[in-house]
Structure 1
Amino acid sequence: MNLSITINSTERQTHVSVSGEIDVYTAPKLKEKLFPFSEKEEMNLIVDLNGVTYMDSTGLGVMVGVFKSLRKHNGRLQLTGLSDRINKLFMITGLADIMNIKSGVEGEEV
C-alpha cells in the first residue's frame, strides 16, 4: 500500500499532490499531513488526487474531517484531479454537493 504526498505551501495556500491508494492503512499518513494545514486560519487547501488509484471510506473520512476543520477555521478545501471512480464516491455519498470539486487547472485559487 503506497501513498506519496507532495506539499507546496505559502502563508495562505497549500497545494497537496497525492498519489497511490488511500485506504485504512494509508489514510492515517494522509490525515497526519493534511490536518495541520486545516487548523490554520483562512487557509486555502488544494488537494490534487490525480495520482490516486483507489480510495475507500477511510479516505473519504479524512477528507470530511479536513473539510470540517477548514470550515471551523474559515478556510476552504478544493479537490482536483479526481478519477471517474473516485468522483463517483463523492457523488454517491453526497459529498460532491458540499465540497468544492474541480477538474480544472492544478493550483488555481479557490
Structure 2
Amino acid sequence: MVNGTDVLAFWGELDAWADQELAPRVMALLDRVGPRVVTDLRGVTFMDAGGLRLLVRIRQQVARNEGTLWLVPGSARNWRLLRITALDQAFTIPASAPVPCARAGPRRGAR
C-alpha cells in the first residue's frame, strides 16, 4: 500500500499463464484491498491476450467492489497494445505514474 492506495505491480510476462494462474489469486486479493487500486505494468516485458484478459478481470472486480482503478502501462509496447485494443479507453491512466515500481520475488507475473 502506498499513500492509502493498494498497488498490484506486475513484471515479466503477462500471458495465458498469468490469466490462468494469477487471476484466481489476484481476484481473492482484490476482495481484501481498499477501494483505491493501482495496477502497475512498468515491469511487464511482454503482454498478450491473456494479460489483457487479466487486466479486464481486475477492472471488473474493482468496479464490483465500487472502487477506483488506475492503470500504469509503463512501456511504449504496453501503451500500443492498450491503444490498438481500445482498452486505453476502458482504464483510467494517469499522466504520470503515482507510485514506484518495486521488483521483488519471482520474475514471472505477480505473486
**Fold agreement, TM-score > 0.5:** yes
Runs of 4+ in 1 over 4 A off after TM superposition: none
- Alignment size in residue pairs: 99
1:93 lines up with 2:91 in the alignment: no
d(CA) in 2 for partners of 1:34, 1:50 = 18
Change (3 A) 1:77 1:85: same
Specify which of 1, 13, 22 is matched with residue 21 of structure 1: 13
Q: Does 1:66 align with 2:58?
A: yes
- In 1, the alpha carbon distance for the partners of 2:33 and 2:44 equals 28
C-alpha RMSD over aligned residues: 2.4
Q: Deviations over 1:60-92 (max 9, x none)?
A: 001101101111111111111421111111111
Where does the alignment leave 5 or more consecutive residues of structure 2 unmatched? 101-111
| TM-score between both structures, scaled by the size of structure 1 | 0.74
Structure number with the higher strand fraction is: 1
CA contact (8 A) 2:73 2:79 kept: no
Q: Which runs of 5+ in 1 are unaligned?
A: 1-8
Output aligned runs, 1:77-88, within 5 Å. Answer: 77-88=69-80
Q: 1:24-69: CA deviations, max 9, x gaps? A: 1233343234212433586211111111000000110011011011
TM-score where L is the length of structure 2: 0.74
Higher relative contact order (CA 8 A, sep 6+): 2
